[in-house]
Structure 1
């Protein structure tokens, strides 16, 4: 039986904290990364005594090696559960998001980090909020909440307001924050969200289904239903319509890239199911 999916992640900056973990820390403690020499009087730990440095010192005093401590960093998933996330040719985008959250929970457990969840549509949903917790099964529990939502709840329209309220709960905290959405709503308020998350490492995860980014290969008539307004339409897909479809997807991709790129944030696209290895490469490229 295969275990949960897992990916490797590292923060591109140093993190503050007191709980030991796997991320580069900014505070002194029991770590392997040398920071400086300090006086034994200031750092009374004889186990770190450096005799050579003490002999070479201009002043007549004992010196100890001071190291930076590796720390744990909470990871949060802010997940869009609006009606558009229930679209999918084979599996809904919300189910794909649940796969990611389950992998995040297991990966964070292996790294020694707590994991939390906040779901939103046009509102911040209290029933889909979980503060960051430690535990091997946290990811599976959070993913189960999203899968239950995908199967049973009546979805509402999406919007930036719900994301802003979810982000406000994390304002001022140093954390790893994944914004999981298809971003099928106006992006004008994204800058305000990033202001709230200024102390966090933000990863926008753009979840798109292959059926919405590429026109179908069938005949010229296509019956569609808007997942949020529930309006039904019939489209005539001639060559020009297919080109406009692809152009619209490309423009939206560029718009998302520009909005986040202004803050030095690179989106991660999930288009054919969640790929943990691709996400590991994303973090490796960001850190290197």
Structure 2
């Protein structure tokens, strides 16, 4: 991906804050959106004096125009770095996420927002944590942490899975790791990207979303084409469980291919139901991150 790739985003609601930025704000200050008239005594800024409104006022006092200012917000990306995110045909899903994080860094810096990162697998990954900060190279730094830390991530997962039933335990651990990350930013008014393949039970996801009720949450569902589309010709397929490492062979009959496609469609419906209940629309990434598609997503979100 080009290092200068970026996209345009806006919050769909007004945000509180004192730092000037590009998002609609709920606080009064320097801005272009008129809110009301106020007394010069309360808002001592003679530059905004409105002579006509003052002459029409019932009380003999000077009135100034009060505007709503645009503000900067904090942006957080919560990344799933579990073993299933290591899968990919041309690029691993985690490498695709790194491309997105780099583009997000450029986009956030352009509008003056702070960017931070949290990560999880079976638990919270403190080694991949970065508090929200402003800087031209923040996105590149976070992306390099994901790209260069792939081997460390794999070692961490291998050590963490020793001596347990990795297949189901890892699934339960993924949402627990997400919950611990959400606790760090619970109650904040921010833009939060939750990036995962969501290959774990969704039943415990709702309480996590409740923690982020004050934030604008964007679920990014990262899948690979090899997960969503069954092979056309191979009849006998060797597969590995990404979480447990278990290997088995599957006979791909016509019925198996149909069940494969039906399972993918059913998963989309399940994700739409969980997020749709809270007015959230997931953003799907398959194969590569498309900045223009992300810009269209936010345009539709704020219209």
Query: Is 1:96 the counterpart of 2:131 in the alignment?
Result: no
Quote how far apart the aligned CAs of 1:219 are. Answer: 2.1
Unmatched tracts of structure 1, length 5 or more: none
- Specify which structure has the higher proportion of helix: 2
Query: Is 1:172 the counterpart of 2:187 in the alignment?
Result: yes
Q: 2:217 aligns to what SS in structure 1? A: strand
The CA deviation string for residues 160-216 of structure 1, in whole angstroms up to 9 with x for no partner, is 000000011001111000000000001112111111111100000000000100001
User: Which residue of the partner structure matches residue 17 of structure 1?
Assistant: 17
Cα distance in 2 for residues equivalent to 1:55 and 1:31:
24
User: Which residue of the partner structure matches residue 150 of structure 1?
Assistant: 150
Quote how far apart the aligned CAs of 1:257 are. Answer: 0.5
Cα distance in 2 for residues equivalent to 1:90 and 1:65:
57
Pairing 1:128-143 to 2, within 5 Å after superposition: 128-143=128-143
Query: Is 1:253 the counterpart of 2:268 in the alignment?
Result: yes
Change (3 A) 1:152 1:127: closer
The CA deviation string for residues 15-74 of structure 1, in whole angstroms up to 9 with x for no partner, is 000011000000001111110000111111101100011111111111000000110001
Cα distance in 2 for residues equivalent to 1:272 and 1:153:
21
Counterpart pick for 1:224 among 221, 231, 239: 239
Cα distance in 1 for residues equivalent to 2:95 and 2:46:
54
User: Which residue of the partner structure matches residue 32 of structure 1?
Assistant: 32
Which stretch of structure 1 is more off in the superposition, 47-56 or 152-161?
152-161
Pairing 1:1-288 to 2, within 5 Å after superposition: 2-154=2-154, 156=157, 157-158=170-171, 159-288=174-303
Unmatched tracts of structure 2, length 5 or more: 158-169
Which stretch of structure 1 is more off in the superposition, 212-221 or 74-83?
212-221
Cα distance in 1 for residues equivalent to 2:217 and 2:3:
27
Cα distance in 1 for residues equivalent to 2:258 and 2:115:
42
Which stretch of structure 1 is more off in the superposition, 274-283 or 142-151?
142-151
Cα distance in 1 for residues equivalent to 2:88 and 2:233:
17
Cα distance in 2 for residues equivalent to 1:153 and 1:275:
25
Q: 2:43 aligns to what SS in structure 1? A: coil
TM-score, length of structure 2 as denominator length: 0.93
- Native 8 Å contact 2:275 2:281 kept in 1: yes
Which stretch of structure 1 is more off in the superposition, 150-159 or 225-234?
150-159
Q: 1:24 aligns to what SS in structure 2? A: strand
Cα RMSD for the two superposed structures: 1.2
Quote how far apart the aligned CAs of 1:2 are. Answer: 4.7
